[in-house]
């Protein structure tokens, strides 16, 4: 198929991913669509923000784990300046907490990189019709944890330090609280996550996207 002219009806697309092969694969798939055109590519969140401001694409595909500014930061910045932006997360990382955070920041859809290319193309078109597309396995994960109590900011601070291998005493000193407070928060964390111990809690938190 011939590459279309960038007319008002053309779906212009920005591709953001720190892996050149992934960008190339997406660009090739989009180029086969007569009504779509890749207007820019970016390798990190900072570049994505700059390219979005320069080209104003109708749809942007964004990875989450990227150098400099990550996908969440890029989404937040772009949406703050362009509330109408159609931002599709395309990532290797599932997890209900991660998905919920991305959607709350303004992502319009959330897909995994394992999705067939035709599904990604459909999601691009659907986003322009105001439809939110979430990968089925991710939707199931969100439904499974619906109603569960979220971790508080203070609990997340404790969990991050625990994940870094810090002892309760070291965590208490870092956060300027008592060891008893740390132990109390850790018990709350394990209860909310259904964890058997602190190591298990960290593992679950990473899987669900509370921790990167």
Structure confidence by residue, pLDDT tens digits, 52-91: 999 999 999 999 889 889 999 999 999 999 999 999 999 8
Whole-number pLDDT of residue 174: 95
Whole-number pLDDT of residue 19: 93
Q: DSSP characters for 30-50?
A: HHTSTTEEEEEEESSHHHHHH
Whole-number pLDDT of residue 29: 95
In terms of domains, do 137 and 158 share one?
no
CATH number of 58's domain: 3.40.50.2300
In terms of domains, do 98 and 175 share one?
no
Q: Please tell me the distance from the alpha carbon of residue 205 to that of residue 148, in angstroms, as a whole number.
A: 13
CATH number of 191's domain: 1.10.10.10
22 within 8 A of 67, measured Cβ to Cβ? no
Whole-number pLDDT of residue 8: 59
In terms of domains, do 185 and 95 share one?
no
Domain count across the chain: 2
In terms of domains, do 159 and 139 share one?
no
In terms of domains, do 126 and 158 share one?
no
Question: Encoding tokens for residue 176?
Answer: 């300027």
The answer to whether position 5 is within a domain reads no
The answer to whether position 85 is within a domain reads yes
For 62, the domain range is 11-143
Q: What confidence tens digit (pLDDT) does each residue in 110-142 have?
A: 999 999 999 999 999 999 988 888 888 778 777
In terms of domains, do 73 and 126 share one?
yes
| pTM (predicted TM-score) | 0.75
The answer to whether position 29 is within a domain reads yes
In terms of domains, do 170 and 103 share one?
no
The answer to whether position 104 is within a domain reads yes
């Amino acid at each position: 198929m011939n590459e279309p002219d960038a007319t008002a009806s053309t779906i212009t697309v920005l591709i953001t991913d720190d892996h050149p092969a992934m960008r190339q694969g997406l660009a090739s798939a989009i180029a086969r669509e007569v009504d779509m055109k890749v207007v820019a590519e970016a390798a990190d969140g900072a570049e994505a923000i700059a390219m979005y401001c320069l080209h104003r694409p109708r749809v942007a595909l964004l990875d989450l784990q990227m150098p400099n500014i990550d996908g969440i930061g890029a989404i937040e910045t772009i949406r703050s300046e362009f509330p109408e932006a159609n931002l599709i997360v395309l990532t290797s990382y599932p997890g209900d907490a991660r998905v919920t955070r991305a959607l709350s920041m303004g992502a319009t859809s959330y897909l995994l990189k394992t999705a067939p290319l035709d599904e990604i193309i459909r999601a691009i078109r659907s986003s322009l019709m105001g439809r939110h597309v979430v990968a089925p396995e991710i939707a199931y994960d969100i439904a499974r944890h619906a109603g569960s109590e979220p971790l508080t900011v203070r609990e997340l601070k404790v969990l991050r330090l625990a994940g870094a291998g810090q002892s309760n005493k070291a965590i208490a000193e870092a956060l300027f609280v008592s060891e008893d407070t740390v132990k109390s928060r850790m018990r709350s964390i394990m209860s909310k996550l259904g964890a058997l111990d602190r190591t298990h809690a960290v593992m679950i938190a990473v899987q669900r996207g509370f921790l990167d």
